[in-house]
Structure 1
Amino acid sequence: MRKPTLKPQVAVSIAARNADNGAFLLVKRGRAPSKGKWAFAGGRVEFGETLVDAAIRELHEETGLVASNVTFFAPVEIINNDAGADYHYILCVHTGTARGTPIAGDDAADVRWVALEDFDDFDVTDSTLDFAQRIARRDQSSNCD
């Protein structure tokens, strides 16, 4: 019997901001990896799906909301070799806007609009905090132009 070959998985996340107040849409993960932590909506890209379409789909599946103005922001590689939890994601982070009252769906345990200054009140993944800060700086500097 051959041992399965572990390969990197292509995944997306979407840092959706509230079009009215700039808060970020965070999802409390209901499954591993990072079960119980707050992060942007996201998941694996399906065969034949564009990265932007995958980000829009994942946001809708996990929150019930539809994103607009979705664009690629940056890549990040997430590798975990802990016993029993091996994964390697090539994560393509996107930004976009949304409106409305989110409802947790799919593998989301909870979902909320959260202002960046309130992230400390949530158990947010390190990469989510890093990207939220980077996106907020980008958006602030583009508003000053």
Structure 2
Amino acid sequence: MTSSQSTVAAMAAGRPVLGVSVSVWRGDEVLLVRRGREPSKGLWSPVGGKVEFGESLEAAARREVAEETGVDCEILGFSTLRELIMPDGAGGVRGHVVLAVFGARWLAGEARAGDDADAVAWVAADRLEDRPLVAGVVPYILGTRRLTGGAQP
């Protein structure tokens, strides 16, 4: 079963899906990806994806960064949880995702779009809102900044 199939199966079974979101910092810039698939196709966000069965959260975070961007990073720590409950428009729920949000530091590699991303960019912390972002993501990105020793803009 592919990752997408297992996500759909979990949602169909009425269970939340566990994922990771990783803000990778290089100086004062954070690595963002433009999502190439739904949900939120065409919008910018930190790297993220589903945690595989038996995989630690930190291992999932490193794997997703490598798969989506080709970047090697050091996971600096856990920041918070982000919960997304998506209504179906008929009073029900079409999806429920819980993301473990991590901060990371860039170590090596030129960022390139791969896997679920169709574009990548290093964006200055004070220029985040210049891009069409996934709704509500800015506080989560800036919350990881403290893990790098940097101040929020």
Uncovered stretches (5+) of structure 2, i.e. residues with no partner: 1-11
Percent identity over the alignment? 36
TM-score between both structures, scaled by the size of structure 2:
0.81
Match of 1:51 in 2: 57
Distance 2:115 2:131 in 1: 21
1:87 equivalent among 95, 105, 113: 95
Match of 1:42 in 2: 48
Distance 1:72 1:140 in 2: 16
Aligned-residue CA RMSD in angstroms? 1.9
Residues 109 and 43 (structure 1 numbering): CA distance in 2 closer, same or farther, change over 3 Å? Answer: same
1:129 aligns with 2:138: yes
The CA deviation at 1:83 is 4.5
Which region of structure 1 is more displaced relative to structure 2, 95-104 or 125-134? 125-134
Distance 2:61 2:75 in 1: 11
1:110 equivalent among 96, 107, 119: 119
TM-score between both structures, scaled by the size of structure 1:
0.85
Match of 2:17 in 1: 9
Q: State the AA in 1 paired with 2:17.
A: Q
Whether the 8 Å CA contact 1:52–1:70 is kept in 2: the answer is no
Whether the 8 Å CA contact 2:102–2:144 is kept in 1: the answer is no
The CA deviation at 1:6 is 2.2
The CA deviation at 1:86 is 1.7
Q: State the AA in 2 paired with 1:104.
A: A
- Measured against aligned partners, the alpha-carbon deviations of 1:45-95 in whole angstroms (never above 9, x if no partner) come to 001100000000000000000111431111111110135982111110011
Which region of structure 1 is more displaced relative to structure 2, 55-64 or 93-102? 93-102
Whether the 8 Å CA contact 2:70–2:109 is kept in 1: the answer is no
Distance 1:35 1:95 in 2: 23
Whether the 8 Å CA contact 2:58–2:75 is kept in 1: the answer is no
